[in-house]
Amino acid sequence: MQLIQLLIDGVASGCIYGLVALGFVLIYKATETINFAQGDILMLGAFVAYSLIGILGMDYLTGFALTVLIIAVFGFFLDAVVVRQIIGQPAFATVMLTIGLGFIFRGFASIYWGTDIFSFSTPFSGKITEFNGLIISYVNLSIIVGTAVLMSVLYFFFTFSKIGVAMRASSENQLAAYYMGIPVKFIFSLIWSISAGVAAVAGVLLAPITLVDTSISLIGLKAFAAAVLGGFGSIPGAIVGGIIIGIVEQLCGTYENYLFEGVREISAYLVLILTLIIYPRGLFSDKAEVKKV
Amino acid sequence: MRFIFKTKYSQDINIAKHNGDRFWYSLLILIMVALPLVLDDFYLGEISYICILSIAGIGLMILSGYTGLASLGHAAFLGVGAYTHAFLLTNGIPFYASIPIVIIVSFLVGAAIGIPILRLTGMYLAIATLALGFIAEHVFIKWEHFTGGNRGLPVPQPEFLGMSFYDSVFFYYVCLVFLIAAMFAAINILRSPTGRAFVAIRDSEIAAQSLGVNLGLYKALSFAISGAFTGLAGALLAHYIGYLAPDIFNIFLSLTLLLLIVVGGMGSLHGTVFGAIFVGFLPQLIAICRDYLPSSIGSQPGLEPMLFGLILVFFILYEPLGIYGRWMKIKLFFELFPTYKRQTFKKQKVFTKSDRV
């Protein structure tokens, strides 16, 4: 029973990793760049939600929707104005650029909102439900349900909507997409905005658990483990990878005595390194995308 | 414009290209040696720090600038060097014996880390080194027997050649000698077949492999050599800081090293020194900025990362060749005076290179 309880907590935190990893994967699939600032965008989302809900006193759902919208627009212009200039430079340049952007966001957040820890009330805060002796908090439930809803929305979007199909086409082959009359640059900016929006959703869902401060941007680094485990380039892989990382982290935390001290904090990174060494393709990759030497 | 007419191969691989070079670099070394006569202790300490940063920068430059492998966890090597050095000194090993051991240990650590993860390229390598940096930081915290954990580890300041490391003039000379030695070592590595292989790997892995470069071996070697330089810098840094705590060697330090080589200029050893000067004086620069900004913004702790990020983004977008690249442009402008063409250094339009198969 304790194990199931752990699994539920693990799945909930894993969903957050999965959502952030999903942001990486969307951008990587499309433009072959990795956005190291994904965690910082999540942080911005949480802060914007705090401003809207906590300070301006908006209704939770309205504030949620508005936050996602604001961050999505922000992501669109981030690509259109800054990141696009770097296309064609070595991978190293993109890595440095997005790291630099992450620092700017974090610095901005701590200047604008301050370095205190904030919280805002949600309809889920502090409520729990009991089921067969299992204690499930509403917050965890909201994360799991929110992820599931978002995933299905994205699934239908990418499968049935015209823009979604155009996005998949551009990811598959940029040049062919151009020839078919798809505005590839616009589509890429749109992908950045979806990715930022997903990060914002994760940020708002996470806010009741970790509270809001600048250190939550570190989630982005753990989400790398999720993305790599899922095979960087597969959308279901990102979520599954995230859930696995979340569960592993919970288990390592509980059974720390049998392993070694401090294993919980680095378990995600250990999984990441082991995946890269042993099975760099990841679980869900359909093609061998990692070159080997 | 000076044209060098080369008639012998030895001319081609000469360290100093012509007598002008020889003159200016000798003058620079003389000035550096004479500096303690004019500067006080505070500035000598700053310059020693810049020397240490330059050595670490050389390490990262060999890896990222010359072999083209990104590392986001290089603070780990600084940590390995610093902790090994402090541990050896605490156990009574003299300074002159400890430094070679530190270099060998960091070389081996570099090789040990390099061999498994160098099958990865590009982004994956960046992510893997990032994760390794985090793991190393945790090892420094948890391996208390060796590192003192969160309590920290005081660094003994032994006598060396009858002088104490507390003497800032002596410490300055130690750092300077190590910087010059490291510079010479790096120049020599880079003009040897090994260094040529590194550059070949950076420019095209496929071409390098076709010409018989063993990619795995040379990448691991690059990692190990880079680790050795950075470890040496770590040992000197241990003396500079005086008290080691695990949170010194965090991701921010790794990123500072990256900022150093990007600002200095990727792929040039000059760049490491320019970058180190820039990074070394960055805190002062930020302090000055604080004075000029309104106090509501100037007193914020977030200003530092923000400026850090802005500088990084600015250099990546507008000055990808760094300070050294700017210096080359200015030099060329005057050499070609009326006929300088802006296009000489213009970024070529390129398409995204795909890693996909």
Q: What is the pLDDT of residues B37-65, one digit of tens each?
A: 888 878 888 888 899 999 999 999 998 88
Tell me whether residues A260 and B72 touch, CB distance under 8 A.
no
Range of the domain at A202: 2-215
Tell me whether residues B309 and A101 touch, CB distance under 8 A.
yes
Tell me whether residues A110 and B312 touch, CB distance under 8 A.
no
Residue whose structure tokens are 């919280």? A119
The pLDDT of residue B340? 75
Among chain A residues, CA nearest to B204: A90
Put simply, the chain A residues between 4 and 33 with a CB less than 8 A from any chain B CB are 28, 31-33
Nearest alpha-carbon partner for B161 in B211, B218, B78, B99 = B99
DSSP letter string, B193-232: HHHHHHHHHHH-HHHHHHTT--HHHHHHHHHHHHHHHHHH
Residue A156 lies in a domain: yes
Tell me whether residues B124 and A85 touch, CB distance under 8 A.
no
Contact A107, B309 (CB under 8 A): yes
- How near does any CA of chain A get to the CA of B267, in Å? 13
Which residue of B219, B313, B349 is in closest CB contact with A293?
A: B219
The lowest-confidence range among A77-81, A159-163, B230-234, B296-300 is B296-300
pTM, whole model, 2 decimals?
A: 0.85
pLDDT per residue over B132-176, tens digit each? 888 888 888 888 777 777 777 777 777 777 667 777 788 888 889
Residue A36 lies in a domain: yes
Banded model confidence at residue B298, pLDDT cuts 50, 70, 90: low
- How near does any CA of chain A get to the CA of B289, in Å? 15
Residue whose structure tokens are 């339009």? B349
The reply to whether A215 touches chain B by the CB within 8 Å rule is no
As for how many domains chain A has, the answer is 1
Nearest alpha-carbon partner for B157 in B50, B244, B81, B238 = B238
Q: Report how far residue A45's alpha carbon sits from residue B2's, in angstroms, rounded to the nearest whole number.
A: 57
Residue A108 lies in a domain: yes
Encoding tokens for residue B356? 């996909």
Tell me whether residues A290 and B124 touch, CB distance under 8 A.
yes
Question: What element of type H or E holds B55?
Answer: helix B41-60
Q: Report how far residue B298's alpha carbon sits from residue B292's, in angstroms, rounded to the nearest whole number.
A: 8
Q: What is the interface pTM, i.e. ipTM, of the complex? A: 0.81
Q: Where are the domains of chain B?
A: 36-251
